[in-house]
Amino acid sequence: MLTTETQTIEQRFNNALKAIRKQGITARKNVMGCCRSCIDLGLADNVPVIWHYGGQGNRQIISGDDYNFNAVYFNHSNLADDEELTPSGVAVIEAFESQGFEIEWERNEWKTIRVLLK
């Protein structure tokens, strides 16, 4: 069985996304649009979601241990409420950290979640 130490960055990243989805959180990567403000994911307002904007040259490519950005920036909804994390927010952090990723996030609804790739 592969451990996080023997898996590629791509495998660990995909494992984290799978764990997030198993918690009932929508997770999308490389969502395309002309700009971030025009993105409509077609979800109800109360659905917990993380999504990475892939338009305007921001497409994230992770192949094995190779990647084209040092961090993946996730926009999100329903992960923080009044400066506190919801259970979904906690689940997102735990999923990435359990795969060995460092998270930079002010843990509020206004700032993106940065997952550092290394």
pLDDT tens for each residue of the chain, 118 residues long: 567 778 999 999 999 999 999 999 999 887 776 655 666 666 667 899 898 888 777 888 899 999 999 999 998 999 998 778 999 999 999 999 999 999 999 998 889 999 999 8
Supply the range of the domain harboring residue 41: 9-116
**Using the 8-state DSSP alphabet, how is residue 115 labeled?**
E
Burial 56-65 (b: 16+ CB within 10 A, else e): eebebebeee
pTM recorded for the entire structure: 0.88
Sorted by sequence, the CB contacts under 8 Å of residue 51 that are 6+ apart come out as 26, 27, 28, 29, 31, 39, 41, 74, 75, 76
Q: Is residue 63 part of a domain?
A: yes
Helix (H, G, I), strand (E, B) or coil at 98: helix
| CA angle at 107 for the pair 104 and 112, rounded to the nearest 5° | 60
Q: Is residue 77 part of a domain?
A: yes
Q: Is residue 2 part of a domain?
A: no
Q: Is residue 3 part of a domain?
A: no
Q: Is residue 56 part of a domain?
A: yes
- Give residue 4's pLDDT: 72
- Give residue 42's pLDDT: 66
Q: Is residue 74 part of a domain?
A: yes
Q: How many domains does the chain have?
A: 1
Q: Is residue 4 part of a domain?
A: no
